[in-house]
Amino acid sequence: MWKKLIAAVLCAAAACAQTPSQIEFANLREDVRGLVQRVGELALRLEQLERENAELRQRAGAADRQHVTLTQLNAALADTSASLRSAIASSKTETLQQVATQLEKLGKQTNAALDSIAKGQATRPAVQTSFSEDYSKEGVSYTVQKGDSLASIAKKTGAKQQDIINANKLSDPSRINVGQTLFIPGGK
């Protein structure tokens, strides 16, 4: 189609060439050649745009098939929420069972420890509540040092252990404290 138009234009130009000058004819021929080239470029561009348009239509069709409706999204969220609630409830139940088991074990251990303490108290010698006044009223003061026991203090001072207990009214001789001052009857 374009070729026929160009040929017609060239024929018309050739017919006119007999009257105008040769330069005008050459200029006209050059203009027609430039137009032919430009029409060819535009035809190529048109084909390219048509291909791109077809591609975009295909993509748009695929995107329409891939989009999610609001109803579908809400249904999916409801399902996820229900699953999450179920998982939390299951986890809570399992955790409570584990805690109950641990509490039962701790209760048994505590009862065993209390029984052991009670048995220890039963076999322990009775606490002394009466003290004899049969000890020397003369003696020295002694400050309990770290690592001291009643036996070691008696040995250091040359006093009798029972006299130290009676003079200081120690109901539990195993419980003397660092820094505590004791009267040592007849001690040196």
Residue ranges covered by each domain of the chain: 2-64, 69-124, 139-185
Alpha carbon distance, N-terminus to C-terminus of the chain: 141
Amino acid at 17: A
**How far is the C-alpha of 29 from the C-alpha of 20, rounded, in Å?**
13
According to CATH, the superfamily of the domain at 139-185 is LysM domain (3.10.350.10)
**How far is the C-alpha of 180 from the C-alpha of 144, rounded, in Å?**
5
Residue 33: enclosing H or E segment and its boundaries? helix 22-66
Per residue in 152-162, pLDDT (tens digit) is 999 999 999 99
Per residue in 99-114, pLDDT (tens digit) is 999 999 999 999 988 8
Per residue in 70-107, pLDDT (tens digit) is 888 888 899 999 999 999 999 899 999 999 999 999 99
Contact in structure between 134 and 166 (CB atoms under 8 Å): yes
